[in-house]
Structure 1
Amino acid sequence: MNTFNDIKELVVTLDRESKLIAEMFSKRKSIDYRLSDALELVDYNESRIDFLIERSVVREHGGILELDDLFLEFFEQVLDVNEEINLSYINENIRGIEENIAYFLNENNDNRRYGYLRFIKKTFRKIGVITIKCTIDLRRNIENTFKNESNYKNKRLKLEHLDDKRTVIKNLINQTSVLIDEKEVTFYNRAMDEELDRIITELKYQLVECSHNLIEIEKQIIDYLNQIKIHGKFLEKLRKLKYLKDHFVIEAETDIKKVLGKKSQVVFETRSVEPIKLSIDYLRNNERAFEAIKRIAKNYRGRKLIKPELADSISNEYLENTIEEEVMINYEEIRNRFVATSDDLFNFILNYDFLKEVDFNERVTIFCQVISLYEQELEIKNDFKTINGVEYATVVTK
């Protein structure tokens, strides 16, 4: 297997094939990326794909391309889209800190002691980041499992396994807290490093936040498992009843008639449909129908028939096109004209023709805005003048 000669070659390669790598990464879960699709993104230069395969950036099997696991994990970790919860990192980092603390205490050379201390500080920072990420990934995986897993047995098993991971994260947080607060007191006394103290303070805050989130996650898992248990029992009974019904033994082997007989819900009652329309012959010949018509007519006798009012025709004045012109202040033009003069900026704006009426206060505002927009091109001198009660600094072009 060929490897990259240096970091520069790696970065240049990733930049050159950024379109292909970005497309493969975005489609990593949806489709199998074919070699024929990849050729279009490398300008049909197959040697560029061969170079990526030789350097183990991508793998090819049967005309299908996929990102190598090492690069895929790197991109997912950096972009924070990895759904796998790898708890071994925290455990390994705790063990690494304990080992380097022992090396630090045994070492007399200051340079080597600083190397061990730097590793310890870096690892403490890493533990905080990894713990937060594992907690976030755990919550996301729990919600995705409960919402998207259709098999109830697998849903329950996955949630139980995620709950085991929650317990592991909680234990690792406790181990880290013990390492900070109770163990290696001699090391902290000897190190006397302000940056280490800040890192540990921030780590404690991160661990407390993760602990609070784990409590909420535990409640969420218990609630989801209870819902699955209730739904599972209901579906189990429903499947059993359907089996008995399909084999025509539901009445013989169950007391379903007795149970339904005790129910009085409206849903079990026979729906009766009453005719609504009356025949015309009935309305003509039946006296009772005639009396009902007259009684109903009395209720409408006092009502006024409101006729809709027609609106007047629209005046032609409203249909004519009208154009309103407004003179806008062009700061770029003001700057260009000022640069061509030897005047100071305030006096120039005070006498500038804006093609519309601009009072003194507005001209002061324009003066400030021009300075703000083109500060790099202007020179503000330590010379002040006063006009109309307004004191201003002399501003000229550089």
Structure 2
Amino acid sequence: MYIFRSIHEIINTVAAARGLLTEMFEKRKILSFRYSDALALLKDDENRLKLLIEKEVIHQNGNFVELDARFMDFFELLLEANEEINTAVIDENIEYLHELMDYYLKERIATRKASYVRNIKITFQKIARTTIRNIMNLQTSIDNAFKHEPTYQIKIAKLENLDKKRINIQQLIDTTENLILHEERQFFQQATDDELNRILLELRRELQLSAHSLIRAQQDIINYLNQIKSQVILVEKIRRVKYLQDQFELRAKSNLAEVLEREHSILLEGTAPSSFKLSINYLNSDEARPIILKVMKNLQHREIIRSNEAGAFSDEDLASQSMYQETISLEETVGNYIQAQTEAMWKDATAQPEDLFSFLMRYPFRQEVSEEERTTLFCQIVSLYESQFRISEEFGIYKNYEYARIYPI
């Protein structure tokens, strides 16, 4: 393995081949980059190309070359062009923080203690950057998996794996919060550093924003999986109809004739297009203006079109096991809570409104919801609909939970 002797050598080597390295980085996802193309970019200077191979900036594999992984990672890190979700790095940084704080508490020389504090501050900043980057990559990967993956089974597997990574990120956020607030209290009591306090305040604020983003990612994953579930069921029904038609049993094993007799709607009505998220930069451009105006015009004249009913099949044909959890509508739950409190106040103006947490603990959801899940819903509602509530200074106690009493505005 080649070892560079100085930063000056690294900079000169990269600068001398900047055209080739730029081209190779932009085409890094292409499986092959020809040796002859690399040579042409260096103006047929084969000695320079061999020097890059000798210094392991690029690697040769027969008639092809590729960028070294170290330089690839370095460029992707600085340009934030890597879509990988890496939670192991955060875990390693948290473990490293425990080690540094332990060294600080055992150290007696002031200069060495200051050195440990400096490394601790740098590590906290790394955790903040890595967490934010992971969440951005998570949201991008979720959207790409749903919109661009053509195979249903792979699409479902990708979304389920991304949900596991979402859980890992949330656990690491909780671990970082616990380290700051509980595990290393002795260190924070001794290390009175203004810059460290500022870094910790910024870190906790970014972790809270990250937790809110993870709630959004969870909702997107559930919604996407439910949409895929609906599409899979529809495809299975179509296949069943096609099979019966091919076997000339469609009229005998379905009520197709009855449906056709009473159905007089237009055969080709089209389907509602899927809603995709557009970037803010595109929406602000002149190119998007005609599309936005067209959408606004269509919204003004939208009519609700009743969907055609599919033919009825037997219970055995239609029986299917639920694959994924149903989505609990947070907006509907909030609306029911506010309506219930408003009606109670109309009946008795002196009545004390019920706080949100108590309401959720007794709310009759359409599906079985545990106390832990109801507590999670409470946190999600407060985070997403904060403007609709008044957070009082009172606290309530429910079993092992202590919660703030929250009422509608």
Q: Secondary structure at the match of 1:60?
A: strand
Q: Secondary structure at the match of 2:186?
A: helix
Structure 2 CA distance for aligned equivalents of residues 252 and 34 of structure 1: 62
Mean alpha-carbon deviation: is it higher for 242-251 or for 69-78?
242-251
Structure 2 CA distance for aligned equivalents of residues 122 and 70 of structure 1: 22
* Displacement of 1:253: 4.1
Structure 1 CA distance for aligned equivalents of residues 76 and 241 of structure 2: 48
* Displacement of 1:247: 4.0
Structure 1 CA distance for aligned equivalents of residues 244 and 46 of structure 2: 63
What is aligned with 2:44? 44
What is aligned with 2:102? 102
* Displacement of 1:251: 3.5
Structure 1 CA distance for aligned equivalents of residues 144 and 266 of structure 2: 38
Structure 2 CA distance for aligned equivalents of residues 139 and 116 of structure 1: 35
Question: Can you list the C-alpha shifts for 1:18-52, whole angstroms capped at 9, x where unaligned?
Answer: 00000011111246211111111111011212222
What is aligned with 2:135? 135
Matched, 1:34 2:30: no
What is aligned with 1:346? none
Letter of the 2:223 counterpart: D
* Displacement of 1:245: 2.6
Q: Secondary structure at the match of 2:66?
A: strand
* Displacement of 1:8: 1.1
What is aligned with 1:235? 235
Q: Secondary structure at the match of 1:164?
A: helix
Structure 2 CA distance for aligned equivalents of residues 24 and 66 of structure 1: 7
1:40 to 1:189, Cα distance in 2 relative to 1, 3 A: same
User: Which aligned pairs between 1:205-216 and structure 2 lie closer than 5 A?
Assistant: 205-216=205-216
What is aligned with 1:64? 64
User: Which aligned pairs between 1:235-314 and structure 2 lie closer than 5 A?
Assistant: 235-267=235-267
1:237 to 1:51, Cα distance in 2 relative to 1, 3 A: same
What is aligned with 1:196? 196
Structure 2 CA distance for aligned equivalents of residues 199 and 65 of structure 1: 43
What is aligned with 2:82? 82
What is aligned with 2:112? 112
Matched, 1:174 2:174: yes
Structure 1 CA distance for aligned equivalents of residues 5 and 133 of structure 2: 32
TM-score (norm 2): 0.63
Mean alpha-carbon deviation: is it higher for 22-31 or for 256-265?
256-265
Q: Secondary structure at the match of 1:84?
A: coil
* Displacement of 1:252: 4.2
What is aligned with 1:7? 7
Mean alpha-carbon deviation: is it higher for 68-77 or for 139-148?
68-77
User: Which aligned pairs between 1:320-359 and structure 2 lie closer than 5 A?
Assistant: none
* Displacement of 1:67: 0.9
Runs of at least 5 residues in structure 1 that lack an aligned partner in the other structure: 269-398
Matched, 1:155 2:181: no
Structure number, greater radius of gyration: 1
* Displacement of 1:81: 0.9
Structure 1 CA distance for aligned equivalents of residues 259 and 184 of structure 2: 69
* Displacement of 1:58: 1.2
Structure 1 CA distance for aligned equivalents of residues 134 and 42 of structure 2: 36
Structure 2 CA distance for aligned equivalents of residues 203 and 238 of structure 1: 52
Structure 1 CA distance for aligned equivalents of residues 136 and 105 of structure 2: 36
Matched, 1:73 2:73: yes
Structure 1 CA distance for aligned equivalents of residues 2 and 70 of structure 2: 15
Structure 2 CA distance for aligned equivalents of residues 247 and 21 of structure 1: 61
Letter of the 2:174 counterpart: N
Letter of the 1:28 counterpart: R
Structure 2 CA distance for aligned equivalents of residues 33 and 176 of structure 1: 42
Letter of the 1:175 counterpart: T
* Displacement of 1:78: 1.1
* Displacement of 1:144: 0.9
Structure 1 CA distance for aligned equivalents of residues 208 and 42 of structure 2: 49
* Displacement of 1:263: 2.9
Same amino acid, percent of matched pairs: 41
Structure 1 CA distance for aligned equivalents of residues 19 and 30 of structure 2: 18
Structure 1 CA distance for aligned equivalents of residues 107 and 264 of structure 2: 85
Structure 1 CA distance for aligned equivalents of residues 74 and 250 of structure 2: 59
Structure 2 CA distance for aligned equivalents of residues 158 and 24 of structure 1: 28
Q: Secondary structure at the match of 2:267?
A: helix
Structure 2 CA distance for aligned equivalents of residues 126 and 90 of structure 1: 8
Over the residues paired in the alignment, what is the CA RMSD in angstroms? 1.6
* Displacement of 1:11: 0.9
Q: Secondary structure at the match of 2:128?
A: helix
Structure 1 CA distance for aligned equivalents of residues 131 and 158 of structure 2: 21
Q: How many residues align?
A: 268
What is aligned with 1:357? none
* Displacement of 1:222: 1.0
Matched, 1:145 2:145: yes
Q: Which has the higher contact order (CA 8 A, sep 6+)?
A: 2
Structure 1 CA distance for aligned equivalents of residues 190 and 229 of structure 2: 55
Question: Can you list the C-alpha shifts for 1:298-317, whole angstroms capped at 9, x where unaligned?
Answer: xxxxxxxxxxxxxxxxxxxx
* Displacement of 1:244: 3.2
1:37 to 1:261, Cα distance in 2 relative to 1, 3 A: same
Letter of the 1:245 counterpart: Q
What is aligned with 1:18? 18
Structure 2 CA distance for aligned equivalents of residues 266 and 15 of structure 1: 66
Structure 2 CA distance for aligned equivalents of residues 15 and 55 of structure 1: 14
Structure 2 CA distance for aligned equivalents of residues 97 and 31 of structure 1: 39
* Displacement of 1:123: 0.2
